[in-house]
Amino acid sequence: MIKTIKEALIWASSYLKNQGIENPYTESQLLLKKLLDLPLVKLTLQENQPLTEQQLENYLQWVKKRGEGYPYAYIIKGKEFMGLEFYVDPRVLIPRPETEILVEWAISYIELNKISDFKIVDVGTGSGAIGISLAKYTGKKIYAVDLSMDSLQVAKLNSEKLGVADKIKFYHGNLLKPLKKQGLEVDLVVSNLPYIPEREYATLQREVKEFEPYTALIGGETGLEIYQELVQQLKGTLKKGGALAIEIAYNQGQRAIDHLQKGGFQKTYILNDLAGHQRVVIGENFIGENFKNYV
């Protein structure tokens, strides 16, 4: 019978290993660390400490969920992003560390542009990770748009949780259309829209495919259809000279560049992630006309 921290970890590690979960002992530790609100080192130092019946019951439930492939972030209802702790649940995609590259670029771009009334729109905000991080670290005005009311509820919750609700205005609708209706203009568009091609859905990891929202993952036949539509909507909303930053898959860089050039950006380039893969495409100096007509 399981009684102590050590015994719980031994059982959980064995169970997760049998369920095919990678790094089962580490996963077991992380779940118990979160449940008990203890640093990892204290789990070892206090390994003979008994667990209460309620703690053990909760831990067994968490471990069994993880064994079913349920993502860790959904179990603990949280994910760290840009040093901030976001609430997440199955209504939204779990923020990925690779997306921080986009946010870090945006922060640098904002700092270089000495515009006091600099405005940003986060298109497809999801959990709000991008827009809220930018509001937190730059203090600028953010518009956040999503087609999913469920996602907007999570994003609003996170804006309140992280103390930036007064800096963000949320809109429900398709890409930039809600801003167009209001006649709003922005200096920067940031977006992590669905970009996985339909044909690749079956190849995704089990915990992604079975538990994260399909509509937040799949971007059409090529994966870039939604971004194409976004670029087509820029005119009249993105100010002349403005910029766009989008997250892409490792093999979509040049095709995305082509769309941005056709959409009116004079300067385009790709940022790689830490693994050396294409991750973010940038368009600067927006002129609102097909740049390829000028070169």
What was the pLDDT predicted at 294? 39
pLDDT in tens, 109-150: 999 998 889 999 999 999 999 999 999 999 999 999 999 999
57 and 119, same domain (yes or no): no
- Tell me the C-alpha distance between 78 and 35, whole Å: 12
Residues 6 or more apart in contact with residue 45 via CB below 8 angstroms: none
Number of domains in the chain: 2
Residue 111 counted as domain residue = yes
41 and 112, same domain (yes or no): no
Strand segments, DSSP code E, in the chain are 79-81, 84-86, 119-123, 141-146, 168-172, 186-191, 238-247, 265-272, 278-286
What was the pLDDT predicted at 1? 77
Residue 141 counted as domain residue = yes
- Tell me the C-alpha distance between 272 and 261, whole Å: 19
150 and 28, same domain (yes or no): no
Residue 74 counted as domain residue = no
pLDDT in tens, 75-100: 999 999 999 999 999 999 999 999 99
Residue 75 counted as domain residue = no
243 and 283, same domain (yes or no): yes
147 and 227, same domain (yes or no): yes
114 and 22, same domain (yes or no): no
204 and 270, same domain (yes or no): yes
What is the span of the domain harbouring residue 32?
5-68
What was the pLDDT predicted at 292? 52
118 and 225, same domain (yes or no): yes
**Which residues sit in the known binding site?**
124-128, 146, 192
**Which residues sit in the known binding site for S-adenosyl-L-methionine?**
124-128, 146, 192
Q: Which residues of the chain have pLDDT under 70?
A: 289-295
Residue 27 counted as domain residue = yes
- Calculate what percentage of the chain has a pLDDT beyond 70: 98
What was the pLDDT predicted at 176? 98
